[in-house]
Copies of this chain bind each other. A is one copy, B any other.
Amino acid sequence: MKKFVNDPKDFVPEMLEGLALANPDTLRYVPEYNLIMRADAPMTDKVSIVQGSGSGHEPAHVMSVGKGMLDAACPGDIFAAPPTDYVYETVKMVASPKGVLLLVNNYTGDRMAFEMAQELSEADGVTVRTLFIDDDVSVQDSTYTVGRRGVAGNFFVMKAVGAAAERGADLDEVYRIGEKVNSVTRTMGMALTACTPPAKGSPLFDLPDDEIEMGVGIHGEPGRRREKLRPAKEMVHELVNAVVEDLPFTSGDGVALMVNGLGGTPLSELYLVYGLAHKELAGRGIEVRRSYVGEYCTSLDMAGASITLVKLDDEITDLLEAPAEIPARVF
């Protein structure tokens, strides 16, 4: 394993400490509960938005905390759901009289932790709703999932509900928007290589030098099939095709197109993939109106990429255009 790591058990806390040190004015790290929250939380005049998940998917979700997106994120250890009591404590720390929306990517462990935390919070008198995100078209059930998995499309749900909450929408309205965005968002990814969790110290699965995993999950779960490595345009065609046919997206649709890197793939390749996907869509009469290229939801150091499409209407476009202030490259 060749990584920047000290003791692997400190990997997540050390990352979170670095994140907070880099954003001293806007973020607060609470080590007791492994959480990152807005420095100005709790806000009493807006619905609070909380997401948790295993770590290893950065910038999801701890680097999505800030004005216009999440009020807090409570990450678990690498690829592990956060403990229920940490989720519960997170809700307590950012609870607003207007209520709390919990966002959960659809994995069994995360569902359990968040559903129990919701019950505990409600017993305390906090109004909570929980929204499950399941944008991955690759497979129906998966290693850690009943139903579809939640992957990079989650970004668009966070962005839209974050903007709506910031504008003062009530909890039911924020929930409605989140559900709507999830319902028109579709993703599929593929792995060129496996990833290496710091505590394991070796690749999470074996992938021969001439093969890829088409439809891979963000924890390295199997996708649709192993395939031979092929030219980028053929692999991108397969990804775009799977995503387009699922909703389906059709001629005349306006979309947001995201090319998300899985952690080990450089921007040069992601932009090459973007160009191929953009042209595939143009050939089908689908118009790309918003573009997202970079890392949004990763799998540690996995080489690979996912493609996400969101069917846009005026309401969603307006929410995606709203400002957000989260840790990101600073210019």
A interface residues (Cβ-Cβ under 8 A, vs B): 2-7, 11, 14-19, 21-23, 55-56, 58-59, 63, 68-69, 159, 192-193, 209, 212, 229, 231-233, 235-236, 263-276, 278-279, 288, 290-296, 298, 300-301, 303, 305, 323-324, 326-331
Contacts and interface: CB of A to CB of B under 8 A. Distances in A.
Contact of A326 (B229, B266, B301, B331): B331
Given A268-B55, A294-B329, A276 B5 contact: no
Given A4-B232, A235-B4, A331-B159, A266 B58 contact: yes
26 contacts: A3-B192, A3-B269, A4-B270, A4-B305, A5-B272, A6-B233, A14-B272, A15-B269, A15-B272, A18-B275, A18-B293, A19-B271, A19-B274, A21-B274, A21-B275, A21-B279, A21-B288, A21-B291, A58-B267, A68-B331, A159-B331, A263-B267, A264-B301, A267-B295, A290-B330, A293-B329
Number of copies: 2
A150 to B, nearest CB: 19
Q: Can you list the 3 inter-chain pairs with the closest CB atoms, starting with the nearest?
A: A18-B275, A18-B271, A22-B291
B59 A265 contact: no
A41 B268 CA distance: 24
Contacts of A18: 271-276, 278, 293
A329 B330 contact: no
Contact of A264 (B23, B266, B274, B329): B266
Nearest to A273: B4
Contacts of A6: 231-233, 272
A11 B270 CA distance: 11
A282 B291 CA distance: 39
Chain B CB count within 10 A is highest, among A7, A236, A267, for A267
